[in-house]
Chain A
Amino acid sequence: MLLLALDTATPAVTAALHDGTSVVAAHSQVDARRHGELLLPAVDRVLTEAGLRLDAVTGIVVGVGPGPYTGLRVGLMTADTFGLALGVPVYGLCTLDGLAYAAGGAAGIEGPFVVATDARRKEVYWARYADSRTRLTEPAVDRPGELDIGGLPAVGAGALLYPDTFPDAREPEHVSAASLASLAAERLAAGEEMEAPRPLYLRRPDAQVPKNYKVVTPK
């Protein structure tokens, strides 16, 4: 097994390779405005580092968000197209699940906690977790002031950004493709069903139906 994982749902542009046992190469760069430019070179870099070619990959894992749409689509479109060109399956994973997985690993959070990322417009994308592998709620987008998480530990940039709502905010700040790859490898090994690689936008497109045309004749 060789999984290539990608995520562009947060300011981190991140790619990793996982051979079914461990992460063999990973690269992340935080730059919220350059997902489109940075992702392919990141993929190229992890492959070069591992001494492998893309056609060795047996599956693609992609973070499906939730995340700001323009960046989010870069990862999804790249994953979809890799899948088409290579003829390998493309698996979606909730980006928050990747953060949760990392929270249980390096950050060592064991009990219930919350993951929150920055949704911009003074909102967060968030979900509750029983542990690093078990999400309790559907991902949602809300104003932090309207949330009461009861002082649970919280990870992610959204938690670090709003200390009033998330008093026990901790690292990691951003998702890493390495965590997504490890989580996917675990789930695949356990024979679990994987999600489809479809975006979690959680918001409707901004679109105003124009009112009746503007009258241009002076009254």
Chain B
Amino acid sequence: MADEPLVLGIETSCDETGVGIVRGTTLLADAIASSVDEHARFGGVVPEVASRAHLEAMVPTIERALKEAGVSARDLDGISVTAGPGLAGALLVGVSAAKAYAYALGKPLYGVNHLASHICVDQLEHGPLPEPTMALLVSGGHSSLLLSSDITSDVRPMGATIDDAAGEAFDKIARVLNLGFPGGPVIDRYAKEGDPRAIAFPRGLTGPRDAAYDFSFSGLKTAVARWIEAKRAAGEDVPVRDVAASFQEAVVDVLTRKAVRACRDEGVDHLMIGGGVAANSRLRVLAQERCEAAGITLRVPRPKLCTDNGAMVAALGAEMVARGRDASDWDLSADSSLPVTDPHVPGRSHAHGHSHSHDHVHEVSKGNLYS
């Protein structure tokens, strides 16, 4: 246990400044500073506001994480950071901090994929990921079904949204209902007191000829908005709780149905759900029911690990160290559209399949690292 890698992870792909520290698959610290309140009045994340907040929050958040974990920076085995995908300017703040920190401490740097991190975080909750694992990632920024046989090297996209992310649909419907931003938690709350069968909202891309694992929430969004507007136009009260419950049911019905189908088709008996929408209580319940019926083991991390955080980045970084993956170079860049198939960004000197084990020394700067 003590020889498991101790890694600090930095996440700044959107509006959360996250710094996490893990030892192997054990969570030691999960420090977060969020700028969500600054975005609320805009009804969505404003990239420049998020980037400014990351710069201010970074050093205090690193300090908080170290204190929480009770470890010294000198003892770290590596620094990992979200290299993408995400908001370009926001990512760049985290990447700059991670590079400077790793360089100054003489530790290897691992630029990792945000989506793979969302999957890997479950190791902190439920132990090592089964291989393969099917993962349903749903948030304001992503809606994807991914299949991974090794989270450090093999993540295969099965399906994704063809229009809006699931979380975006929650935000939009919350706005139409005047419930504020972000929409996920408030819709969940109202839905608990509503009837999910009150209104039959459409299930996108569920026809026999539709892509089996892709998602579409744009049509649902429009249908719900139309329904509400029709009520208002007729001078009737909008039954907010029933609308919330019926809308939410339409989203989680499609998500869970497709995820379970993907597991069955691929013969995978584990499903993990991550991303901010995984905090949705109805999604958790319905997924549990359907997985049980299908003989699939469901793994959903606690809500705080589902939303963006630094611990997930540290978890994937620790796995990179444990499996001897190559570190990133000092000129690592933030890549706002880093493909999901790249779990990390190895340095160029290692990029062509030379598989020598990592020796904690970077090519460009042997002389400048602490011994």
Show the binding face of A for B, using Cβ within 8 Å.
34, 36-41, 43-44, 47-48, 51-55, 69-70, 73-74, 76-86, 199, 201, 205-210, 213, 215-217
Q: From known contacts A54-B368, A70-B89, A81-B58, infer whether A44 and B95 are also in contact, taking CB-CB under 8 Å.
A: no
Given A81-B58, A81-B96, A81-B100, 18 more A-B residue pairs with CB atoms under 8 Å apart are A37-B333, A41-B330, A44-B103, A53-B368, A70-B51, A73-B89, A73-B93, A74-B92, A76-B55, A77-B97, A80-B97, A81-B59, A81-B97, A201-B52, A205-B52, A206-B46, A210-B43, A213-B176
Tell me the nearest residue of chain A to B229, going by C-beta.
A217
Which residues of chain A have C-beta atoms less than 8 A from B233's C-beta? Answer: 217
Interchain CB contact under 8 A, A44 and B175: no
Interchain CB contact under 8 A, B96 and A208: no
Q: Does B365 contact A (CB under 8 A)?
A: yes
Complex Cα spacing A92 to B62, Å:
21
Residue contacts A-B, CB under 8 angstroms, 10 given: A36-B92, A36-B333, A37-B332, A40-B331, A52-B368, A78-B99, A80-B55, A85-B73, A207-B49, A217-B229
Query: Chain B: interface secondary structure?
Result: helix
Q: Does B104 contact A (CB under 8 A)?
A: yes
Q: Does B312 contact A (CB under 8 A)?
A: no
- What per-residue 1/0 map shows which CB atoms of B339-371 lie under 8 Å from chain A? 000000000000000000000000011011110
Q: How large is the interface on B (under 10, 10 to 19, 20 to 34, 35 or more residues)?
A: 35 or more
Q: Does B149 contact A (CB under 8 A)?
A: no
Q: Does B48 contact A (CB under 8 A)?
A: yes
Which residues of chain A have C-beta atoms less than 8 A from B69's C-beta? Answer: none
Q: Does B129 contact A (CB under 8 A)?
A: no
Interchain CB contact under 8 A, B96 and A216: no
CB distance from A86 to the nearest CB of B (A): 6
Interchain CB contact under 8 A, A205 and B97: no
Interchain CB contact under 8 A, A70 and B92: yes
